[in-house]
């Protein structure tokens, strides 16, 4: 296992067309990461990685994120047991976004509210635009109170 080296970004061609890993983190030092279930293809969550979380994810093969609420790197599943094991990692054209395909241990859920996916509600559109959101998962897979206890909810208003 080699510690990944992030290359300096020199040209648009290098960033888009080469095999150099030259990631660009946003002004807050974070890069968005799309996480999908490797088996079903379902998008489970959108997380954020800083330089350290991205390195840890690549070297360990388990998803690490940066919690914007707690301002710390976070090994997904450390509390809940729902670890996300990498099956594949992709980076986009301009190297400022990631997509990881994962196998989730345990129940397979990834959402702190208790659902499998964080994207458990649909937004009506077109002729139905303006109607209420619709729940798309029949029920929660776990009770967040039992899993997280009194830990503060990461959702901010």
CB of 53 to its own copies, least distance (A): 13
Q: Which 116-145 positions form the footprint of its own copies (CB under 8 A)?
A: 118-127, 129-136
Candidate list 18, 67, 79, 107; residue touching its own copies; CB under 8 A: 18
Rule CB under 8 A: is residue 113 a binding residue for its own copies? yes
CA torsion 141-85-87-107 (nearest 10°) is -20
**x/- letters, 91..110, toward its own copies (CB under 8 A):** xxxx--xxx-----------
Cβ atoms of 35 and 57 closer than 8 Å: no
| CA-based nearest residue to 49, from 16, 91, 13, 108 | 91
Rule CB under 8 A: is residue 34 a binding residue for its own copies? yes
d(CA 45, CA 97): 14
Rule CB under 8 A: is residue 43 a binding residue for its own copies? yes
d(CA 65, CA 52): 9
The residues, any chain, with a CB within 8 Å of residue 146's CB and separated by 6 or more, are none
Rule CB under 8 A: is residue 151 a binding residue for its own copies? no
d(CA 4, CA 61): 12
DSSP at 62: B
CB of 11 to its own copies, least distance (A): 7
Cβ atoms of 54 and 23 closer than 8 Å: yes
Rule CB under 8 A: is residue 15 a binding residue for its own copies? yes
CB of 78 to its own copies, least distance (A): 19
Residues that bind its own copies (CB under 8 A): 1-5, 9-12, 15-21, 24, 32, 34, 36, 40-43, 45-46, 57-61, 86, 88-94, 97-99, 111-113, 115, 118-127, 129-136, 153-157
């Amino acid at each position: 296992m080699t510690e990944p080296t992030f290359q300096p970004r020199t040209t648009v061609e290098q960033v888009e067309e080469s095999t150099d890993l030259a990631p660009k983190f946003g002004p807050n030092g974070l890069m968005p990461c799309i996480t999908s279930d490797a088996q079903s293809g379902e998008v489970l969550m959108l997380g954020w990685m800083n330089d350290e979380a991205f390195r840890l994810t690549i070297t360990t093969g388990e998803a690490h994120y940066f919690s914007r609420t707690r301002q710390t790197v976070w090994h997904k599943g450390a509390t809940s047991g729902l670890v996300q094991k990498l099956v594949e990692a992709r980076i986009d054209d301009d190297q400022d976004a990631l997509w990881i395909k994962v196998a989730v241990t345990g129940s397979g859920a990834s959402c702190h509210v208790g659902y499998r996916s964080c994207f458990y509600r649909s937004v009506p559109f077109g002729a139905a635009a303006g109607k209420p959101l619709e729940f798309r998962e029949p029920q929660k897979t776990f009770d967040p109170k039992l899993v997280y206890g009194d830990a503060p909810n990461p959702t901010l208003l």
